[in-house]
């Protein structure tokens, strides 16, 4: 029973992290209708930025999150403005191809620049655990999940209550109407994509504190983020949290009852099942 509880808690904690990982993807997909197949690679990039900040500048990964996020924002802005905007009105398939191409570029660049070694971000407190009701919870993991959920809620508030957030949502719903209100779409799209990558970068920084990073994690992470976004639906950040937690739980339970590899198989299976039965996600309306 204790083991089950531990596994459940692990799953929920992992879920928080998953939520922030998928949030950027859901934002860009739901708002810009851009299906970013390189999303995982950007998470990987964010993780490396955090690692280098930690290793060269001694910047604590949690405190350094804003730096990573800001850097990634500019990367995202540039990419959207310079590349993705060029195919914004082409069929969706072109976006799929371009982002897939970007994924290839990023992975190979990372391999070149960072080498293929596995790395982790290990601040001084990384080995510590807290014990609650007989359950062991690594501090770092708890902090990461907590920050993740916090960021997700901040994002939600931003989208719903700030002027920029509302402009973004309005543009998503009606591009021409948004133009009439003085919104410059190219800039807004770029800002939105920048936000998406900032979130990815932050997620990467958090990811680096709890898992190993190497240049190749991009593809797996992308697939997981899609699973989360689809399971939870694209409508609200709450959906993404739900999706993340669901995926985290499925993986933990699958690992416990079947075996570690089958965590991936289980999440893929759930993804396909949800796509077939309810493409709008468990919580969402339309994706």
Letters for 178-207 (x = contact with another protein by CB under 8 A, - = none) are -------xx--x------------------
Interface with another protein (CB under 8 A), residue from 219, 249, 253, 256: 219
Q: How far is the CB of 128 from another protein (least distance, A)?
A: 31
Between 123 and 162, how does the x/- string for binding to another protein read (CB under 8 A)?
----------------------------------------
**Which residues 59-88 are close enough to bind another protein by CB under 8 A?**
83, 85-88
Q: Which is nearer to another protein, 91 or 134 (CB)?
A: 91
Report helix, strand or coil for 130. strand
Candidates 48-56, 216-224, 235-243, 244-252: pick the segment binding another protein (CB under 8 A). Answer: 216-224
> Cα 68–87–274 angle (5° rounding)?
70
Two tokens, residue 48:
């490396």
**Comparing C-alpha atoms, which of 230, 11, 33, 205 is closest to residue 121?**
205
Distance of alpha carbon 14 from alpha carbon 222, whole angstroms:
16
Question: Helices 139-161 and 237-257: crossing angle, nearest 10°?
Answer: 150
Tokens of 106: 């990023």
Segment near another protein (CB under 8 A); pick from 68-76, 131-139, 231-239, 257-265: 257-265
In the complex, least distance from residue 34 CB atom to another protein, rounded to whole angstroms? 10
Residue among 8, 70, 104, 137 that touches another protein (CB under 8 A): 104
> CB 186 → another protein: shortest distance, Å?
5
What six digits make up the tokens of 180?
Answer: 């009439």
Considering only residues 45, 172, 271, 283, which one is a binding residue for another protein as defined by CB under 8 A?
271
d(CA 177, CA 250): 42
Cα(260)–Cα(254) distance, integer angstroms? 7
Strands (E), 63-133: 129-132
CB of 39 closer than 8 Å to CB of 199: no
Q: Is residue 119 classed as helix, strand or coil in its secondary structure? A: strand
Pick out residues in 30-59 that bind another protein (CB under 8 A). 35, 37
User: At 137, which helix (H) or strand (E)?
Assistant: strand 135-138
Least Å from the CB of residue 35 to another protein: 5
Q: Which is nearer to another protein, 86 or 130 (CB)?
A: 86
Strands 135-138, 129-132: pairing kind: antiparallel
Q: Which residues bind another protein (CB under 8 A)?
A: 35, 37, 83, 85-94, 96-98, 100-109, 111-112, 185-186, 189, 216, 219-220, 222-223, 226-227, 230, 259, 261, 264-265, 268, 271-272, 275-276, 279
């Amino acid at each position: 029973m204790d083991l089950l509880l531990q596994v459940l808690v692990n799953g929920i904690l992992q879920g928080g992290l998953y939520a922030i990982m998928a949030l950027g993807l859901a934002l860009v997909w739901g708002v810009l209708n851009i299906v970013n197949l390189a999303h995982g690679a950007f998470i990987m990039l964010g993780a490396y930025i955090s690692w280098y900040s930690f290793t060269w500048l001694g910047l604590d990964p949690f405190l350094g999150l804003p730096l990573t996020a800001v850097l990634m924002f500019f990367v995202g802005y540039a990419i959207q403005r310079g590349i993705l905007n060029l195919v914004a009105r082409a069929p969706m398939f072109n976006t799929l191809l371009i982002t897939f191409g970007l994924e290839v570029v990023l992975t190979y660049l990372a391999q070149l620049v960072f080498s293929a070694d596995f790395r982790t971000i290990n601040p001084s407190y990384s080995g510590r655990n807290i014990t609650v009701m007989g359950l062991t919870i690594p501090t770092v993991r708890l902090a990461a999940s907590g920050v993740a959920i916090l960021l997700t809620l901040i994002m939600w508030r931003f989208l719903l209550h700030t002027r920029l957030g509302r402009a973004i949502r309005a543009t998503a719903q009606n591009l021409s109407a948004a133009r009439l209100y003085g919104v410059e779409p190219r800039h807004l799209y770029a800002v939105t994509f920048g936000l998406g990558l900032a979130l990815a970068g932050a997620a990467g920084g958090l990811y680096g504190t709890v898992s190993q990073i190497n240049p190749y994690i991009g593809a797996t992470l992308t697939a997981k983020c899609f699973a989360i976004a689809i399971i939870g639906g694209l409508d609200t950040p709450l959906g993404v949290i739900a999706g993340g937690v669901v995926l985290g739980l499925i993986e933990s339970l699958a690992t416990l009852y079947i075996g570690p590899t089958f965590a991936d198989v289980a999440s893929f299976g759930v993804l396909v099942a949800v796509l077939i039965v309810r493409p709008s996600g468990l919580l969402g309306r339309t994706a």
